[in-house]
Amino acid sequence: MIALAPTDTVRGRATVWIEALHDELTALFTTLDAGGTFVEDRWTREGGGGGVTRVLTDGTTFERGGINRSVVGGALPPDAARRLGGRVPVGGDCEFFATGVSLVVHPRSPMVPTLHLNVRYFEVTDADGAPLDSWFGGGTDLTPFYPHEADVRHFHRALRATCDRHHPSLYPRFKPWCDRYFTNVHRGGEARGVGGIFFDHVRPGADESRLDVDGLFAFAGAVARSPVTTYAPIVDRRRDEPYGDRERRFQLERRGRYVEFNLVHDRGTSFGLQTNGRAESILMSLPPLAAWRYDARYEPGTFESALEAMLTPREWAAGE
Amino acid sequence: MIALAPTDTVRGRATVWIEALHDELTALFTTLDAGGTFVEDRWTREGGGGGVTRVLTDGTTFERGGINRSVVGGALPPDAARRLGGRVPVGGDCEFFATGVSLVVHPRSPMVPTLHLNVRYFEVTDADGAPLDSWFGGGTDLTPFYPHEADVRHFHRALRATCDRHHPSLYPRFKPWCDRYFTNVHRGGEARGVGGIFFDHVRPGADESRLDVDGLFAFAGAVARSPVTTYAPIVDRRRDEPYGDRERRFQLERRGRYVEFNLVHDRGTSFGLQTNGRAESILMSLPPLAAWRYDARYEPGTFESALEAMLTPREWAAGE
């Protein structure tokens, strides 16, 4: 592991914070699964750092769930630096430090949507350790397989409420960012799901919210804890709803699009694979089973076409 | 479609040649499936060109088979030009022309390996149409799910015999190239399958074989027709071999690695998606169903570990 930073530094504080969020999320999703347990793997990364991956396989509610935390750092490869988008000197040697927690759960039932969540703290320093840049990033988004519009409205409204407690500018800025980010460009701009929020390079005191380090820890922590209000009620409401082979089949095909996004477009996945990350931990976001069907098209009036229509970004939190 | 080039130009000749190979492969694999039929889609590409995609869904032998031909061209995006690896001027406007046929079949039975095949002809010109570079590329490779070593030896020996008829340098150069190319770098360098041959940027008269345009048409055509001797005998031998859930399960997990390679590393897939290609035709290479299991490991002595051991490149054609 990376030498532990003292907790009076921001990176030290971030490390402890991520550990606590990881444990809270594990407890929440163990309860939510109502049967399965997470198995833990601790790993170290060649080049610096390591992490703790917790995976639930063949659970009661979740066909697979993964919750990963990591603290990584070391030399920042030029390619990765270029894509990172922070204030990073061109061509200069620099180092990075990153700690974060990420979660993806793939429910068994197509009536229950998939949830993704991530929060992270990132620092870039020069080769002598002098700070060049630091920021928070993260987000959470929903991928339904059945067109329960009420669930999507619930998710977005609860998420907006969470954000609004920290600053009224957050949801209105980070909701469209999420819509732009989780897009399968190669599929004509089709969204991965119905969105949520996404943010990156949010620097203490530097954005519209003017949240300082304490404020950003509080906000990003609230995002990490948001499934309690955004997602758990949906799981409870839908987990016992009946479904058939057709719904399962469609879920597997939508999961195929999820795989496409994660492997072709997701910056976190690319960054991890490029920086010698642990493939099993990075790719735990992939579903346990996914399908591809050539040129699938659905008649108007079917639940499949209704679901596809929901993928066009909309103001789901409006009108409450 | 792109304006048809006269058949006395190389690109015109290549276009007709690819059409004929496409039809031959369709006929061969229809026979090999012994039950299913390919459904054809003709499409045009915004920006120039188009193609014909033929897909067999839920066949008798093949769970999915796709055979695609295309003739595409137009402005070469700078990003695509950089990755293309031809003699392309840095920063200068240029155009490309490409025609090729590609095939992927995903058999139902895990006893039958997956086959991939592609041949293509590529030209780069400046904005006025003056030639800058032209080359042939292609290859064929095998991805087994059950450790039938005899089948792998058969595939490589038949492929070497095909290559040797055109020049003795071809198989020895293109076999290791295939091993290097079809590698899941993010999986510690694990190969996608047991290889075959891969070649790119083979310019008329310019490589060790000194094959001229006619010679390269003949060689690449022979590669396209090679399944008759390399693959058909394996299908005939294995299609009725019994298997169980465990073999099917392992096949689905290996198919997951196939998806990872195609979406993360394959240059043809990236080039197609970057150049506004038709996603359904590019991604028909993906399996109909694939699985991911967290940190799968297999005991020594199991068929799964025997299969994994076969993924280390070996001189399969040696010793005949």
A43: enclosing H helix or E strand: strand A39-44
Q: Do the Cβ atoms of A57 and B294 come within 8 Å?
A: yes
Quick one: three-class SS letters along chain B?
A: CCCCCCCCCHHHHHHHHHHHHHHHHHHHHHHHHCCCCCEEEEEECCCCEEEEEEEEECCCCEEEEEEEEEEEEEECCHHHHHHHCCCCCCCCCEEEEEEEEEEEEEECCCCCCEEEEEEEEEEEEECCCCEEEEEEEEEEEEECCCCCHHHHHHHHHHHHHHHHCCCCCHHHHHHHHHHHHCEEHHHCCEECCCEEEEEEEECCCCCCCCCCHHHHHHHHHHHHHCHHHHCHHHHHHHCCCCCCHHHHHHHHHHHHHHHHHHHHHCHHHHHHHHCCCCHHHHHHHCCCEEECCCCCCCCCCCHHHHHHHHCCCCCCCCCC
Q: Is the pLDDT of residue B244 over 70?
A: yes
Q: Is the ipTM of this complex over 0.95?
A: no
pLDDT digits (tens, 9 = 90+) for B105-134: 999 999 999 999 999 999 998 888 888 899
Of A288, A291, A295, the CB nearest to B292: A288
Active-site hit among B116, B148, B154, B156: B116
| Chain B residues 272-291 with CB within 8 Å of chain A | 273, 279-280, 282-284, 286-291
Q: Is A41 helix (H, G, I), strand (E, B) or coil?
A: strand
Looking at the predicted structure, is the pLDDT value of residue A1 above 50?
Answer: no
- pLDDT for residue A10 is more than 60: yes
User: How much is the pTM?
Assistant: 0.94
Residues A175-181 have a mean pLDDT of: 97
pLDDT higher than threshold 80 for residue B85: no
Q: Which of A22, A106, A116, A156 is catalytic?
A: A116
Tokens encoding B209: 């074989």
Residues 18-57 of A with CB under 8 A from B: 41, 55, 57
Per residue in B177-213, pLDDT (tens digit) is 999 999 999 999 999 999 999 999 999 999 999 999 9
- pLDDT tens digits, one per residue of B57-71: 999 999 999 999 999
Lowest mean pLDDT across A131-135, B87-91, B122-126, B262-266: B87-91
Instruction: Tell whether A257 is within 8 A of chain B (Cβ).
Output: no
Give residue B4's pLDDT band: very low, low, confident or very high (50, 70, 90): low
Burial class of residue B116, CB neighbours in 10 A (0-12, 13-18, 19+): buried
Q: How far is residue B90's CA from residue B299's CA, in Å, rounded to a whole number?
A: 51
In chain B, domain spans: 10-310
Considering only CB atoms, A263 lies closest to which of B57, B260, B280, namely: B260
Q: What is the mean pLDDT of chain B?
A: 93
- B280, B290, B294 ranked by CB distance to A290: nearest: B290
Query: Has A265 been annotated as catalytic?
Result: no
Rounded to a whole number of angstroms, the distance from the CA of A225 to the nearest CA of chain B is 25
- Identify the CATH homologous superfamily for domain B10-310: Coproporphyrinogen III oxidase, aerobic (3.40.1500.10)
Span A248-267, average pLDDT: 95
